[in-house]
Structure 1
Amino acid sequence: MIKIYICPFSWHKEKTPSEEVLRMIKLSESKKSVLYISPSGRKAEEVKSSFSAECKTWGFYSLDRFINKILTGTGTGKYVDDKLKLILVTEILSSDEKYASLFNTSPGTVNVLSELLTDFKNYGFASDIPGLKKKLTALLDTYDRVTERALTSVDILEKYQATIQKLGFSDDVDRLSLAGALLGNNKTGYDILVLDGFFDVTAKQKEFFSPLIKNSKDTVLLHYEEDALEEIKGVQSDFLEFAKTLGKTSVVKIKRETDLRSLAAQKVTKALSLEAEVNGIAHHILDLKKNNTGYRDILVTFPSMFSYIPYVERIFPKYKIPFSTSVDRPYVSLQELLPVTLLLKCILEELPRRMVVDLINSPQLLAFDKVSRELISPASRKAGITGGFLQWEELAKRVKNEEPDYFEENLENIRMLESDLKKVFLALEGLNKNMDLLGFTKGLRKVLLLLKYSITDEEINKGFQELLNGMEKMLKLFKGRKNKPEENARLFLNILSKSHYKQEHSAPDSVRVLGVLDTRGLYSGHLFFGGLSDGDFPLKPKQEMIIPDKARKELGLVHFLRRIELQRLHFYRLLQGPRTGVYLSYPVQKDDKLVLPSNFLPEIIKPPAEQVKAAALTTEELQSKEGRTEGLSGLFFESSELTDKAKAEQYIRSVFSRNAEISVTAIDRYLDCPFVFYLEKILKLEILEEPKFEIESAAIGTILHNVMEGAFEPGKKIPEKIEEKIIRSVEAELKKTNLHEFWKDHIRNRVTLLLKRIIKQEQLIFEEYPHVYCVEKKGRFKLNNVDAAVKGRIDRVDNNEREFAVIDYKSGSGAKKYFDKTVKGESIQLALYARMIAVEQGRTCGGLCVYDLKEGRARFVKKEKVAELYDEALITAEKAVQSILNGDFPKKEGKGSNTCYFCAYAAICKKS
């Protein structure tokens, strides 16, 4: 006998419909045992907690756990989960040229193909391959390629089946079929079967439920529906119709005791971001707590749990809100697996600075010294490293050139850091080769051993080792195609993204934070339903690259419209569930992109919540409130002038070495803005902006500087050989870089375009200055009236018998501006460089030149202006250095200048 209870979405009692039905069974059939099965493990656990006394004779399971119970001790072989399925599909695609011509091995294609194979198996098509091909041929009569791809996917299914059978492995569908077969020959051991909340079921699930229901003396089905809701009235349950065919049925309808909750009457909060949304939910929860609502009476759900759970984990503890959650985290997101992810990304992106810094600082990698962990971030920033093997290899040289004092102070530590960086290079050398995925997996094991990789969490470590073992066992069956290092890294990252670790966080009296499907049917007084943005709920459909949606519908597979129907059903069921209130919300932006509200929501939406009006509850908020009370003046630094001149000079001299050697660029920085000089050079404040990889400015600029250095050497110039030298110098420089060939060709083309202009400019310079005196030369001279010295590095100096010209290369967009400032005397770099050469050479300065390598143009200051700039620069430098040593750091005059507008310190510099 099958008894069907038609339950309402809303109950508004102290029990859920599930608990009420089980209570009635307990009263009427007190001596009988009950087997309770729900689609959700959380639902089964919560119902179980209400019947703890009956747990000795009653069983409470989710469907997955019940299948595991049936299969315990049956020897089903290794379980093929999503990650192993991805590996298997990838290798199948690589094993035959026919597959490669129709499908690429990108993560997106492999994921879609894996899901399609699962659908084929779930709906019973794997047992009739010829029949499936016949149906697809009949349905797909539009394009030959569409038909070919669909039929080839069936061939891949056949090969997939043969492979896992050969290995003795089984996937979810195989386990379900085996469990159903075992049920056909055995009783469950319980008197009454209760199936709670099953709605859509596949053909293979029907094969499982059929013997389960037939072998049970009595079966109770709980089905949830609301005929009065027009929006979901036509959504039919496959499971309900299927169950009615299995035996004699009776229907009991449980009446709803209150009115349905109107969607139009609900307020929807539009939050400014995900963080603001979770903050708003936390504030509301605290308000409910003040009104004596228990934490256990509150449910929080998000369609995209993975996006929101990090905010919940950070914000709820800040407000001292206890919470329980259960979320499947991809391995790629786990802190313990971060070193593996970073290693793979270092292969993909050629050792980017941020990733190498994080890699060295990974606590799971025990091979690196503590000194290296502390030093790598500041040292690499001072060295101007953006990424690439060559830049990291030159770390010490770069630091020495840019910050010689810092280099001397940290020489031993920098050597230690270089030693640890070599371990990284050695590790990656073993993976940066063309090899198959099996070789790459074995190589990764060796790399992790070399870097002393250690995972303290036993469960995560066990799961990761099982992943590697399963991969190696499976991959041995294939003669794998050799992939480029980047392809292997990308494949492995995709596998980690599809490998999940169930992370649970529980507390006795706590707010439950669960996914949408786990939240259905749970008892609550209040529900916070966040993340209701278009694309997340309803979920944006995946592009069906293989079987068109119309054909899926004809085959009986789940299709797009059915997915939308089911999500709409879940939405309205959740809306009616809570006893007291529902709080709906969505963010206006996510991942720096604007988002639209879910089309399930009503059209009238509340504006973004003003979080500043909420009561200050955390230390952070109290401090913010206190700052606002004190007024804006507390936010700004005032102009600085150190009052004790003797102590100021003593300290500042120590900043610029004992001899007070101040660089030419530092003096220019002081002239530009004394206050910024004070913040950067004296207080040592830094704007922590990560170096960005910009091929134009970073790579081309450095390479062109080096090209010019290599093409010109001290001695008499030979104009007819300049072109040859530049071309040779370009190739020599490109050989040293690890740039992709595309960018190397781009640089060659760039130099080719500039070459004619450079040769023309060099011809003009040669006529007046036929000799090169020096390139990349360090210079220094003592000031006359101040006990200090000026130092700098000069790009190039050309000369004739009487005079010399200082040439400064500039490859960025600021060359023209730099030249204009030099002419006006606002920048004194060139003139001070000239004085360094004059002191050494005994000749007169005849030329100051800014050589724009971006345009291939040399701009010379007019000859009659040079002597004036040369003399004034010394006076200006002495005044500036004296002011620095005196501790005078006023704010720059000239409110509203471009320099101030783009200044990184504008937020703390309030001008009168």
Structure 2
Amino acid sequence: NFIHEMQQRYPGRDVDTIASDLCSLCHSLGIPEEVSLRAVDALKIMNDYRQLLERHGAADENNAVEICPQIIHAHKTHYQRIIVDGFIELTVAEQAVFQALIEHAAETYISVPYDVYDNNLLYDSYITYLNHYFIFSSEYLHAESGVLGLRYTQYPSPEEEIEGIARIIKNRFLNGSLIDLERVIVAFPDMSRYADRVSRIFGKYGIPFTLTSGKTLAMKRPYRDLLALLESIANDYPRMQFAQFLVSPYFKALAPSLREYIPTLSISTFFAGGKSAWLGIIRSNEQDHRREHIGREAADEIVHALTWVFQKLSFLESARTKASFATYGELLLDLLNDLIFDDEGNYDLRVRTRASEIINDLSFLDRSVGPSPTDLRSFTEAMRHCLMNTYSTEPDNRGVQIMSIAEAEGLEPEHAFIAGLRDGDFPSRPGIDYLLPDNLRTRLGLVHADRYLLRQKFLFRRLLSSTRGYTLSYSTMDGDRLYLPSSFLSRREKSANPTTRKSALPSFAALSKSRFDRSPKTRATRAAWSWSALRARRRALASTLLLSSMRTW
């Protein structure tokens, strides 16, 4: 997210200053000029976005973070105690909020994960910031128990892997070892690859579950059918796409005869598309032996149904070459109401409501920057982009929680099934950034490839240390491809701190006494450096927080 990263990296800076800074860095790193020009073009779009928000008196999350320090100082709010936890690294905008909060607090407690194997590479910017702006003394906490190795299960295929997980969950639930299924999670590196299989297999085993995400709306069948409808109108009703719309169960007003007979008629008739070809589909099949089971009454019903459909589509069809987003939005909303676009009985989504929200968002573009004529293809692509970036969530948090490994951050499940741990899938590599190359991202302090891998390792280890039990697995094959286990499953030595002995750590009673003996003018901080100590945080929070004096420079 280029705009988000730039606004967090350069809060309050104008676009010209940011562009000058980026061009200078690109020149010093030997990055080709065409790359820096792409970044400058993106900054111009960011500037247009800023001006759009200003004209409408609106603010996004980056603006909210930017004005937080001003609000804290203006209201002169004073806090007795602040606990800071869960941060891995701070953006420039977050650092300003962080410092404003600490300056107005009598005591500050900071918990920072620590991993001796990575030498703090993931948290170095965070620790450097603390050392630069504050004075504090750090203490180390040992892990509760070390991890000598990670046991995992191999399955021949992803299908059998999910089936194996389903059998384990059902058997443990029946024998009473897993009672509360809501405290069981099944996590995958990439939910989009597994969501359909999990839904089918867990449904077959009768296991209640909740898919927290994993699928964008563009991957959901109702919205795929909606896009097929728009593409059909824009491209003169091609055979495959229009047939997909006609047999869709999500357009309730369509005649049942279309869903029953269109697949057969479409396959047996070799035509590219076109309204006239569709209206003549019955006549062109009069000599076809597969038409015998249709009958004259059903054939007449199909012709009548197709005529009705084209009549409903005629308003949007007449504007497919030139109209504004707002016009297309109004016509499409009327069409969805006429066709009764809905998915009643499926608690996962209310398709017409979600589609209406996205259509209204697209119409907002015309109201914001003024209507500009476009065509239906462009509107369809904009609709597809919105659907591809909108995730579907289920409102009912019931049953086993199915999610990605990244979404499991901060959870403390009773048991975690972490599946799909194949080399290449986990850890994964970040996508190619055409605006900010990796060496430039490193210089800017943004998330680069190495830090991206360290983040995945950190999330994986923290999930293992925060659950009471876990089951790891991967599939050795997927189709014709062979896979090795993830590099994160390699054997590790027992976790230990090379510089601190357990006997050197003060007890909580001593810490409590020292805290209350301090002068009220002295600010305090708490620094704890143990990634696996997070597991005990809820059971004994005080034991993971070590007191030391602190003041701002």
TM-score normalised by the chain length of structure 1: 0.48
Q: For residues 154-165 of structure 1, what are the structure 2 equivalents within 5 Å?
A: 154-165=43-54
Match for 1:294 among 156, 178, 186?
Answer: 178
Match for 2:394 among 503, 515, 518?
Answer: 503
* C-alpha distance 215-388 of structure 1, shift in aligned 2 (>3 A): farther
2:39 corresponds to 1:150: yes
Contact 1:213 1:219 in 2 (8 A): yes
Partners of 2:419 and 2:171 in 1: CA distance: 18
Contact 1:399 1:407 in 2 (8 A): no
Partner of 2:129: 242
Match for 2:306 among 408, 418, 432?
Answer: 418
Partner of 2:407: 518
Q: For residues 180-579 of structure 1, what are the structure 2 equivalents within 5 Å?
A: 180-186=69-75, 191-227=80-116, 230-231=117-118, 234-243=121-130, 247=134, 249=136, 251-263=138-150, 266-273=151-158, 275-289=159-173, 292-296=176-180, 298-327=184-213, 329-347=215-233, 351-384=237-270, 387-403=273-289, 405=292, 406-408=294-296, 410-423=298-311, 425-426=313-314, 429-430=317-318, 432-454=320-342, 461-478=352-369, 482-507=373-398, 510-524=399-413, 526-579=415-468
Paired AA for residue 212 in structure 1: L
Secondary structure of 1:539's aligned partner:
coil
- How many angstroms does 1:162 deviate by? 1.1
Deviation string for 1:332-357 (max 9, x for gaps)?
Answer: 23455454223234256653445434
Partner of 1:684: none
- How many angstroms does 1:120 deviate by? 0.6
* C-alpha distance 575-153 of structure 1, shift in aligned 2 (>3 A): same
Contact 1:383 1:402 in 2 (8 A): no
- How many angstroms does 1:244 deviate by? 5.4
Q: For residues 750-829 of structure 1, what are the structure 2 equivalents within 5 Å?
A: none
Partners of 1:191 and 1:519 in 2: CA distance: 32
Secondary structure of 2:429's aligned partner:
coil
* C-alpha distance 194-313 of structure 1, shift in aligned 2 (>3 A): farther
Deviation string for 1:24-58 (max 9, x for gaps)?
Answer: xxxxxxxxxxxxxxxxxxxxxxxxxxxxxxxxxxx
- How many angstroms does 1:502 deviate by? 3.0
Partner of 2:534: none
Secondary structure of 2:420's aligned partner:
coil
Deviation string for 1:156-194 (max 9, x for gaps)?
Answer: 222221122112232221122244443334477975433
Contact 2:216 2:392 in 1 (8 A): yes
- How many angstroms does 1:431 deviate by? 5.1
TM-score normalised by the chain length of structure 2: 0.75
Secondary structure of 1:194's aligned partner:
strand
Question: 4+ residue runs of structure 1 moved beyond 6 angstroms?
Answer: 187-190
Secondary structure of 2:411's aligned partner:
coil
Partner of 1:766: none
Paired AA for residue 91 in structure 2: T
Partners of 2:69 and 2:469 in 1: CA distance: 42
Paired AA for residue 123 in structure 1: R
Partner of 1:624: none
- How many angstroms does 1:301 deviate by? 0.7
Partner of 1:887: none
Q: For residues 91-110 of structure 1, what are the structure 2 equivalents within 5 Å?
A: none
Secondary structure of 1:500's aligned partner:
coil
Partner of 2:8: 122
Partners of 2:236 and 2:489 in 1: CA distance: 48
* C-alpha distance 245-512 of structure 1, shift in aligned 2 (>3 A): farther
Unaligned runs of 5+ in 1: 1-114, 605-912
Partners of 1:486 and 1:533 in 2: CA distance: 39
* C-alpha distance 463-383 of structure 1, shift in aligned 2 (>3 A): closer
Say which is worse superposed, 329-338 or 194-203, in terms of deviation: 329-338
Partners of 1:127 and 1:496 in 2: CA distance: 32
Paired AA for residue 544 in structure 1: D
* C-alpha distance 356-188 of structure 1, shift in aligned 2 (>3 A): farther
Partner of 2:481: 594
- How many angstroms does 1:493 deviate by? 0.6
Partners of 1:344 and 1:193 in 2: CA distance: 53
Paired AA for residue 567 in structure 1: Q
Contact 1:375 1:413 in 2 (8 A): no
Partners of 1:485 and 1:548 in 2: CA distance: 35
* C-alpha distance 293-181 of structure 1, shift in aligned 2 (>3 A): farther
Partners of 2:232 and 2:327 in 1: CA distance: 18
Partners of 1:225 and 1:247 in 2: CA distance: 19
Paired AA for residue 157 in structure 2: L
Paired AA for residue 402 in structure 1: D
Partners of 1:601 and 1:220 in 2: CA distance: 31
Partners of 1:170 and 1:320 in 2: CA distance: 45
Which structure would you say has the larger Rg? Answer: 1
Contact 1:527 1:578 in 2 (8 A): yes
- How many angstroms does 1:199 deviate by? 0.8
Paired AA for residue 440 in structure 1: Y
* C-alpha distance 155-384 of structure 1, shift in aligned 2 (>3 A): closer
Unaligned runs of 5+ in 2: 492-553
- How many angstroms does 1:446 deviate by? 4.0
Deviation string for 1:668-695 (max 9, x for gaps)?
Answer: xxxxxxxxxxxxxxxxxxxxxxxxxxxx
- Residues paired across the two proteins, number: 481
Secondary structure of 1:563's aligned partner:
helix
Deviation string for 1:467-501 (max 9, x for gaps)?
Answer: 33333233234366654533332222112211234
Q: Comparing both chains, which one has the higher relative contact order based on Cα–Cα distances under 8 Å and sequence gaps of 6 or more?
A: 2
Partners of 1:292 and 1:420 in 2: CA distance: 57
- How many angstroms does 1:121 deviate by? 0.7
Q: For residues 34-183 of structure 1, what are the structure 2 equivalents within 5 Å?
A: 115-124=1-10, 127-141=13-27, 142=30, 143-183=32-72
